[in-house]
């Protein structure tokens, strides 16, 4: 049974653009290797955080929405913990209505880009 998940992680602000893209690709690779289906990916860019984390007040935010087996999330979060470029992360399982809302939000965003 594949569940739908959404993970947001914050990367350290000292990364170059190339390093940031490599970090995102690394975690997308972990998901793909575990058989997860990536539904959506959004880069929110550099944002100011509500409070300093590891003496940093800004960070690069990234969202990945995916469908996967529950044990895949565990492997992904181990990867986040081991990577010094990741300041914070949060993965949530989307319930039926949250998944519908996420799909509606994606559709509205793609309509605005057209």
Phi, psi at 23, each rounded to 5° = -65, -45
Phi, psi at 103, each rounded to 5° = -65, -40
3-state secondary structure (DSSP) of residue 7? strand
**What pLDDT does residue 107 have?**
83
| pLDDT over 80 (residue 110) | no
Q: CA end-to-end span of the chain, whole Å?
A: 35
pTM: 0.85
Least confident of 16-20, 75-79, 80-84, 109-113: 109-113
**What pLDDT does residue 111 have?**
74
**What pLDDT does residue 5 have?**
93
Domains of the chain, start order = 3-113 (3.30.70.60)
User: Contact 38/100 with Cβ under 8 angstroms?
Assistant: no
Query: 91, exposed or middle or buried, with CB in 10 Å at 0-12, 13-18, 19+?
Result: middle
**Residue tagged 């965003």 (tokens):** 109
Mean per-residue pLDDT, 53-76: 92
Question: HSE (CB half, 13 Å, CA atoms) of 82?
Answer: 9
**What pLDDT does residue 76 have?**
92
**1-49 confidence digits (pLDDT tens):** 788 999 999 999 998 899 999 999 999 999 999 999 999 999 999 999 9
**What pLDDT does residue 65 have?**
92
- Stated as kind and residue range, the H or E segment containing 47 is strand 37-53
């Amino acid at each position: 049974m594949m569940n739908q998940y959404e993970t947001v992680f914050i990367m350290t602000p000292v990364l170059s653009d190339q390093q940031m893209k490599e970090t995102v690709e690394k975690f997308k690779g972990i998901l793909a290797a575990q058989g997860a289906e990536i539904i959506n990916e959004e880069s929110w860019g550099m944002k100011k955080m509500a409070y300093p984390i590891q003496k940093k007040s800004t960070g690069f935010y990234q969202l990945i929405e995916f469908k996967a087996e529950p044990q895949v999330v565990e492997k992904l979060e181990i990867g986040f913990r081991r990577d010094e470029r990741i300041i914070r992360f949060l993965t949530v399982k989307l319930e039926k209505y949250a998944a519908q809302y996420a799909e509606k939000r994606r559709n509205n965003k793609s309509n605005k880009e057209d």
